[in-house]
Amino acid sequence: MEQHSISNEHSELARIIQSNHYIRKTVQDATNKFLTLQNDLLKSMQVQRLDTITVEQNAQPFFDAVEIRSLNEQVTSDRVQLAFVGANSCGKTSFLHLLLRSGSFLPADVGSTSARIIRLTYATVRDACLIVYPSLDNKEVIVQVSLVEFFIDGQKPDWDGVKTAIRVHVERPDTENIKPHSNEFAQWAKYFVELRIPSSFLKLGIDIYDTPGLLFSDPLVLKENLRELVELVKPTLVFMYDNAAVSSDSQDCFLAVKDALGQLADTSMFFLNTKADITVILADADPNGEGIEDEKWPEILLAERQTRYNLLLKVPSMASEFPGGLPESFAKCHCFDIVSVHSDLDPLGSEMNRTTISRMIQFVANSDLKIAKKVSQLVLPVIDAFFDFALVTSQRTAAQLQTLRHEACQWTANYFIKHRSQLQKMLAELYDLILDQLNDEMNCIAQRAAKLKTAPLIEKYIKAVVQQEIVKMKVELVTRKHATISGREIKADPTILNNADKNEFLISAQRSFTISRNYYDNKCTSRLFMIQAMLLQTALIADILIESDDEGGSKDTKYKTIVRQDTRKKLPLRKGMSSLEIAYQRLSELQSWLVNQKAYMSKVVDVLNNIQKQHLIEKIDQRYNLAVKGVSDREKAYQLVTIYVGAFAHIECRLVAAIDLAKFHGRKPVINKMLDEGTFFTVHSAEWMDKKDLIVKKLKVDYKFLCYLEAHYHRRITRLELSHTVQLSYLYEDKNNKDLWMFFPKYSQNLTDYLEKNSVGGVTVDKILSIALDITNALAELHANEIVHRDIKAKNVLLNEKDECYLADFGTCQTSVMNGIDFSKRHDVDRRDVKAEDICLFGELGLFLTDRSVSASDETTKRLNEFKELLNRCVNVDITVRPKAAVIAKKIKEIRKEL
């Protein structure tokens, strides 16, 4: 029975790992194609003499190819890397044995038992061995010990024999012979040990790193080894602690880990509370000993997890480990759980442990996708920039380009004037909060630091505590507060954006903004930029406040040098000072330095503002200069661009589909019955894990790039956040047939269904006007963004439960300057206005609606006739007579007011 459950557990873990490998491979392949395609485009621009500068210079307005290529090389890995960290005796080694379902073969005892990092990886029986290397990055074999004799096929492994064979290479040296802080100890600890053993768990594709227990006062080599591990291997860290209330040793261990990692801020971490004894949990849930029904166990376990999670949230440094802080509810947290090796023999304990292991591996697997997601976040804005370039090349005149550039620069200047004032207020609040908390906790921090024995270690500890438990927490608090305020202001007053998302130069420059790459999604570009510009500056301020030992390698060092206005002055320590006195002196000096920094705040804000503003204007000018080159020979530029649009859309969709698949942990969506059928697509009901009310559009006939181009425009419309248009939810690429599936929210009915249901009694004039207003509002926003629909009909108007209308089905949707599904028809300034086609189609639909109207009075009949007159103008053969969508919407509002 136990073997069956373990097999099922491993089956699920194998699925998670395999699906993530597929996602990473998809991202890497798509990115490689992107780099090749982009290089071909830039070279073609030179061949066509559209530009006289080099390919490398020409690429600057688009992307940093070196960064993308470098990251993309790190994307694919066949193995999941998992590293256990924690204080001594926190249960790391025992849990590792539980994972492997092995006997005890690694040293485990109270206190420090090892000082070397040990990697456990899968090997067949004949390859089982121990290998010692000089260090993590040096693969020279110093010692190799065969372990084959302990894993004879068909017999139970001899774990005691393994333990004996490896002991001399993994157990910490006797402190009587080698002192922990000596050079001899550092040399011994630097060696790296690899254990290659048969294991069904490791065979899944998982490598485990067992690290020594760590405290702030431990030898420096242990911190250096941990940092080297994270730098070279980039594992997910599992921070393990025993006491649910998080003991002082565990808190100091966490500070030591953060101090060791320094500027390696992207490290993922899972928190694991290791001593959740089932007997104690059940006793607490049943104080009267009346017995607990089996169906109550999930509820009891969830309550216990939440209780222990609440205790974790009370530790400031741990609670602020993730951007934005940990969520308040365990149900929303994916980076914490509880386990008990001691309880694994109990069926309930075994169930708890299996669930925890599965959640942990899922988190680790998702963390392994971090680089793949970052690569996608770098590439997708570049593809958007290409489509922006296609738009300005095909449509804009030189005068229009100059106007766009002027408006983009003016928006930038206006924004940073207002932004400076907001940042001043935010930083004033931040400094006050930091200084207040530092003053409140001065005594507590001094007492904790005084436990350490040397002045350098005391100072280092104080810096770590202030950085992790005060500065970081307050930065998160203030940033969240002001980001929320900023979001509300933008929502309440859309004029703040001032049509920023309709300026191709501005949004393309904003997408290149460094921090926006980490938050790139389907949101309004300018809104993201405004919030992320603030986040970048507060993050930089947090680094400025407390220096890191390794910040020389930080890309922001030059900024820190500019804004760090003075050096913290340290007075000489008096002879004979106690540890507590040293701690108080260093804390007082730090407090004074922070007060002085606050006085420089205005200059700090000006420097940061100018850096960001200049960066944005440079990007705007780069995009303008590139577009001007294309205008001088529009025919060549447009013909060249149209060659690449389908391929770029294909890459875009593959990347988005891979990241969407990751949101569902690699599980495939379920396609249900067919609901509708068109010329090119079939429409089905669908569900994807907990998302039940979805519909999916699938390409019916194999037209090259058609589905990718449609999906591109759906993404563009979704990111613009237009009202009364159906939003794209997800993309999925079927790896067997290479089909692209487009997922949308399911609506209750379309307009055809609605009219049929109301065919007997008819539809009121007010309702018809309401439907028409929703459609024209959608059209007005589409046209304002140079997008035309080209297939407006009752079937493509969807209604929700409130009978609000949404325009759907963009199968023939194009930018108004790129006529034709396959982009094959060139732009011609004398061609008929395709926006007028939409107006005509709306007019025809409106007249169709009026034929089904019912008038309750002469007044409604009068208003209906007024509406028909407007519709007749829409269908006039002379397109110059047809009103604009915004004008139609305004007129409908006026008619409704008269009803």
Q: Does 499 have pLDDT greater than 60? A: no
Are residues 494 and 616 part of one domain? Answer: yes
pLDDT at 288: 83
Are residues 481 and 602 part of one domain? Answer: yes
3-state helix, strand, coil in the chain (%, to 5): 60, 10, 30
DSSP string, 880-895: TTSPPHHHHHHHHHHH
pLDDT tens profile 779-811: 998 888 778 888 899 999 999 999 999 998 755
pLDDT at 66: 59
Q: What is the DSSP letter of 172?
A: P
Q: Does 121 have pLDDT greater than 90? A: yes
- The count of other CB atoms within 10 Å of the CB of residue 232 is 11
Query: Is 58 within the bounds of a domain?
Result: no
Query: Is 160 within the bounds of a domain?
Result: yes
Are residues 607 and 494 part of one domain? Answer: yes
In DSSP terms, 730 is beta-bridged to 743
CB 704 within 8 A of CB 751: no
Specify the amino acid at residue 616.
L
The whole domain housing 517 covers 373-631
Q: Tell me how far apart the alpha carbons of residues 409 and 52 are, in angstroms, rounded to a whole number.
A: 26
Are residues 383 and 347 part of one domain? Answer: no
Question: What 3-state DSSP class applies to 206?
Answer: strand
Are residues 711 and 619 part of one domain? Answer: no
Are residues 799 and 707 part of one domain? Answer: no
pLDDT bin (cut points 50, 70, 90) of residue 823 is: very low
Q: What is the DSSP letter of 553?
A: G
Are residues 835 and 810 part of one domain? Answer: yes
In DSSP terms, 80 is beta-bridged to 206
Are residues 862 and 740 part of one domain? Answer: no
CB 97 within 8 A of CB 160: no
Mean per-residue pLDDT, 9-37: 87
Mean per-residue pLDDT, 168-181: 84
Q: Tell me how far apart the alpha carbons of residues 748 and 801 are, in angstroms, rounded to a whole number.
A: 6
Among 314, 342, 368, residue at a domain's last position: 368
Q: Over 575-608, what HEC string results?
A: CCCCHHHHHHHHHHHHHHHHHHHHHCHHHHHHHH
Q: What is the DSSP letter of 469?
A: I
Alpha helices in 327-397 (DSSP H): 347-368, 370-395
Measure the CA angle with vertex 381, ends 380 and 386; round to 5°: 95
Q: How many helices (H) and strands (E) does the chain have?
A: 28, 21
Query: Is 391 within the bounds of a domain?
Result: yes
pLDDT bin (cut points 50, 70, 90) of residue 306 is: very high
Average pLDDT over the chain, rounded to whole? 82
Q: Tell me how far apart the alpha carbons of residues 757 and 760 are, in angstroms, rounded to a whole number.
A: 8
Run of H or E residues at 814: strand 814-815
Q: Does 200 have pLDDT greater than 60? A: yes
As given in the structure block, the two tokens for residue 601 are 């705040």
Q: Tell me how far apart the alpha carbons of residues 793 and 811 are, in angstroms, rounded to a whole number.
A: 13
With CA atoms as reference, report the closest residue to 120 among 242, 204, 16.
204
Q: 269-273 and 192-197 as β-strands: parallel, antiparallel, unpaired?
A: unpaired
pLDDT tens profile 402-419: 888 888 888 888 888 877
Mean per-residue pLDDT, 484-507: 67
Are residues 626 and 684 part of one domain? Answer: no
- Residue keyed to tokens 């438990």: 469
Q: Find the radius of gyration of the CA atoms of the chain.
A: 32
Q: Tell me how far apart the alpha carbons of residues 391 and 818 are, in angstroms, rounded to a whole number.
A: 8
Query: Helices 65-73 and 2-47: crossing angle, nearest 10°?
Result: 160
CATH number at residue 262: 3.40.50.300
Query: Is 282 within the bounds of a domain?
Result: yes
pLDDT bin (cut points 50, 70, 90) of residue 72 is: low
CA dihedral 419, 421, 427, 428 (to 10 degrees): -170
Run of H or E residues at 122: strand 118-122
CATH number at residue 893: 1.10.510.10
Q: Does 314 have pLDDT greater than 70? A: yes
pLDDT at 813: 45
Q: Does 514 have pLDDT greater than 60? A: no
- Name residues whose C-beta falls within 8 Å of residue 506's C-beta, 6 or more positions apart in sequence: 404, 407, 408, 411, 412, 500, 526, 620
Q: Is the dihedral of CA 442, 443, 447, 450 positive or negative?
A: positive
CA distances from 888 to 57, 839, 885 (A): 46, 9, 5
Mean per-residue pLDDT, 867-890: 94
Among 368, 403, 431, residue at a domain's last position: 368
Q: Does 831 have pLDDT greater than 60? A: no
Q: Tell me how far apart the alpha carbons of residues 73 and 71 are, in angstroms, rounded to a whole number.
A: 5
CB 330 within 8 A of CB 264: no
Q: Could you tell me the pTM of the whole model?
A: 0.80
pLDDT bin (cut points 50, 70, 90) of residue 238 is: very high
Are residues 753 and 741 part of one domain? Answer: no
CB 453 within 8 A of CB 497: no
Range with the poorest average pLDDT among 53-67, 289-303, 606-620, 855-869: 53-67
Query: Is 14 within the bounds of a domain?
Result: no
Mean per-residue pLDDT, 269-297: 88
Are residues 754 and 740 part of one domain? Answer: no
As given in the structure block, the two tokens for residue 788 are 């035309």
Specify the amino acid at residue 843.
G
Q: Does 125 have pLDDT greater than 90? A: yes
Q: Does 5 have pLDDT greater than 90? A: no
DSSP string, 606-652: HHHHHHHHHHHHHHHHHHHHHHHHHHTTHHHHHHHHHHHHHHHHHHH
Question: What 3-state DSSP class applies to 692?
Answer: strand
CATH number at residue 718: 3.30.200.20
Measure the CA angle with vertex 630, ends 627 and 635; round to 5°: 145
Mean per-residue pLDDT, 20-27: 89
Q: Does 549 have pLDDT greater than 60? A: no
Mean per-residue pLDDT, 391-395: 65
Q: Does 6 have pLDDT greater than 50? A: no
Query: Is 789 within the bounds of a domain?
Result: yes
- Choose between 265 and 480: higher pLDDT: 480
Q: Tell me how far apart the alpha carbons of residues 82 and 238 are, in angstroms, rounded to a whole number.
A: 7
Q: What is the DSSP letter of 217?
A: T
- Percent pLDDT > 90 in the chain is 39
- Choose between 705 and 815: higher pLDDT: 705
Question: What 3-state DSSP class applies to 672?
Answer: strand
- Choose between 384 and 832: higher pLDDT: 384
Q: Tell me how far apart the alpha carbons of residues 469 and 218 are, in angstroms, rounded to a whole number.
A: 21
pLDDT tens profile 74-117: 666 668 899 999 998 888 999 999 999 999 999 776 445 678 99
Q: Tell me how far apart the alpha carbons of residues 660 and 730 are, in angstroms, rounded to a whole number.
A: 6
Q: 80-86 and 206-210 as β-strands: parallel, antiparallel, unpaired?
A: parallel
CB 37 within 8 A of CB 641: no
Alpha helices in 696-853 (DSSP H): 706-720, 751-757, 765-784, 834-850
- Residue keyed to tokens 């705007």: 620
Query: Is 35 within the bounds of a domain?
Result: no
Q: Over 37-57, what HEC string results?
A: HHHHHHHHHHHCCCCCCCHHH
With CA atoms as reference, report the closest residue to 1 among 9, 155, 467.
9
Structural domain tally of the chain?
4
CB 717 within 8 A of CB 810: yes
- Name residues whose C-beta falls within 8 Å of residue 764's C-beta, 6 or more positions apart in sequence: 853, 854, 856, 860
List the end-to-end C-alpha distance of the chain, in Å, as a whole number.
73
Q: Tell me how far apart the alpha carbons of residues 509 and 612 are, in angstroms, rounded to a whole number.
A: 11
Are residues 783 and 701 part of one domain? Answer: no
* Residue 341 Cα to chain centre, angstroms: 33
Query: Is 34 within the bounds of a domain?
Result: no
Among 697, 721, 745, residue at a domain's last position: 745
Mean per-residue pLDDT, 153-173: 89
Q: What is the DSSP letter of 722?
A: -
Mean per-residue pLDDT, 435-460: 92
Mean per-residue pLDDT, 204-227: 91
